[in-house]
Amino acid sequence: MTERFPAIEVFNRRRAGVLLHPTALPGTNGKLGLSARQFVDFLADAGMTVWQVLPTGPTHQDLSPYQSLSAHAGNPALIDLSELIESGLVTQESPGEPRSLLLAKAAERLINGQYTATPQLNPGTWKQFVSDHANWLENYALFMAIRESFPGSVWTEWPRDLRLRSPSALTEFATQNKNALERFRVEQFLFHIQWQVLRQYARDREVLLFGDIPIFVAHDSADVWANPELFKLDGEGQPTVVAGVPPDYFSPDGQYWGNPVYDWTAMAADGYQWWISRLKCQRELFDLLRIDHFRGLQAYWEIPADKPKAVNGYWVPGPGEAFLKVCFEKLPDLPLVAENLGLIGEDVEQLRYRFRLPGMTVIQFGFDGSPANPHLLRNHQEHDLVYTGTHDNDTTLGWYQSLDEPTRNLVNQEFNISEADIASQPLPIIKAAMSSVSRLVIVPMQDLLGLGSEARFNTPGTTENNWIWQLPSHYWERVSASGIREIVTSNGR
């Protein structure tokens, strides 16, 4: 099946990696400095050569990385303020001040040239960043500054001239709020600089970065406000239809996501430029990219906004082959993975195969009793990725402990283990995943640490206690990196 492999560096050999979102790293000053470098060192010591993260955009108050304020921007909460001390953008005397104030002062110093330049951070790189990203950066800065001026509101509640983007109103606002716009631009620059330093640090240690792209975007986002013609909205900016998924075995009522739906006809008219720009931005950050809900490119579940229940939805054809063809024409080295979990029809798989996109299997999903289940170890394919679990699953230990007795017996038989074995470190299911024929195996960090349900990162369909789990300090003392490396290398990874 190797003929299906795209020409992507990550798949040039058997590899193992870890799933951990940067927000879960230890530290209070931000995550993209020492804390991230220490994690890269841990991965390298453990023989792991891929670090997978969730979407890295700025979030709403619910902290979900899948409902971002921008599909292009980086999350300024990840900026490590201590990394800005050496350049003078943050002073040694100010670490106790509120983070927002420190970033505002850093922006002012950068704009006024009151800092010590470095090869990465200097007037030339600042000017180049603003120029290279102007197609989204200016709208993002405007959106965030207006949003700040009307706290607690979504953009459809703003004054009409700002909501509908009157050129004169936007010009007047930008003139009166110049400092705020500069602050939001500088935040993005600092995120970009710190991410690029981290990416090079990882590459120097042979660790590649793996990102995630939600197929849909949040309604309350710079993307929808700045490009209303690309979404199915009414004259006031409200969605006429929204996205979700239909009822199925796992969700009898279906799922109502509420994201606005793309007007794919309008997007096709300009050659999918918004998507091309989005993919370019993510390509600057990552060596591999997953498209979440890939099946939505073949067909998506559209729900009338005035009938907000998933059961009222219907299938609508997606842009499919025409869209992907343009993406690969514009970005020939685009390193995509298709998230193809759930009830996926043959038409979706054929679309994936036509563009030689790797898919996903999850060990936890293999035990419905069917010998043909693609998630069973014996049914894995070389061209796919295998996970012990994902960010939406319970940890592997928590999952095992919650199984009913018949399913637990199936798991024990599959991996030749007993209940006494399951909590041993590393988990026996990690060892099994490493033996898969799949070229890339990804293990959530919680599984490497052998943690239970208390370390679950997200529970779909709930709004409490998600996205907040933190990696314990000195985590490297809780797991043997050399022991993990031995398993990785013994499986040719």
Q: Assess whether pLDDT exceeds 80 at residue 251.
A: no
Catalytic residue among 339, 384, 394, 447: 339
Catalytic, 3? Answer no
CATH of the domain at 79: 3.20.20.80
User: Average pLDDT in the 131-149 region?
Assistant: 97
Rounded to whole angstroms, how far apart are CA atoms 365 and 378? 13
With a pLDDT cut of 90, the percent of the chain lying above it is 89
User: Average pLDDT in the 64-68 region?
Assistant: 96
Q: How many CB atoms lie within 10 A of CB 408?
A: 16
Rounded to whole angstroms, how far apart are CA atoms 113 and 375? 55
Q: Which amino acid is at 52?
A: Q
Q: For residue 137, tell me if it sits in a domain.
A: yes
Q: For residue 403, tell me if it sits in a domain.
A: no
Q: Which pairing describes strands 440-444 and 15-19: parallel, antiparallel, or unpaired?
A: parallel
Q: For residue 55, tell me if it sits in a domain.
A: no
Q: For residue 80, tell me if it sits in a domain.
A: yes
> Which pLDDT score is estimated for 348?
96
Model-level pTM greater than 0.85? yes
Rounded to whole angstroms, how far apart are CA atoms 305 and 299? 18
Catalytic, 339? Answer yes
Rounded to whole angstroms, how far apart are CA atoms 346 and 131? 43
Q: Assess whether pLDDT exceeds 90 at residue 94.
A: no
Q: For residue 33, tell me if it sits in a domain.
A: no
pLDDT tens by residue, 11-48: 999 999 999 999 999 998 899 999 999 999 999 999 99
Whole-Å CA distances, 327 to 280, 284, 336: 10, 15, 11
Partnered with residue 19 across adjacent β-strands are: 52, 444
Rounded to whole angstroms, how far apart are CA atoms 459 and 128? 41
Helix (DSSP H) and strand (DSSP E) numbers for the chain: 17, 12
Rounded to whole angstroms, how far apart are CA atoms 387 and 318? 27
Domain of residue 227: give its range: 68-202+213-336
**How many structural domains comprise the chain?**
1
Catalytic residue among 41, 161, 292, 414: 292
Catalytic, 292? Answer yes
Q: Which two tokens stand for residue 189?
A: 């620059």
Q: For residue 249, tell me if it sits in a domain.
A: yes
Catalytic residue among 161, 392, 414, 486: 392
pLDDT tens by residue, 298-338: 999 999 999 989 999 999 999 999 999 999 999 999 999 99
Q: Give the up-direction half-sphere exposure of residue 459: CA atoms within 13 A in the CB hemisphere.
A: 12
pLDDT tens by residue, 153-172: 999 999 999 999 999 999 99
Q: For residue 373, tell me if it sits in a domain.
A: no
Q: For residue 355, tell me if it sits in a domain.
A: no
> Which pLDDT score is estimated for 460?
86
Mean pLDDT, all residues of the chain: 94
> Which pLDDT score is estimated for 7?
66
Q: Kindly report the backbone phi and psi dihedral angles of residue 83, in degrees, each rounded to the nearest multiple of 5, phi listed first.
A: -70, -15
Reported residue count of the chain is 493
Angle (deg, nearest 10), helices 99-111 and 178-204: 90
Q: Which two tokens stand for residue 255?
A: 């799922």
Q: Assess whether pLDDT exceeds 80 at residue 92.
A: no
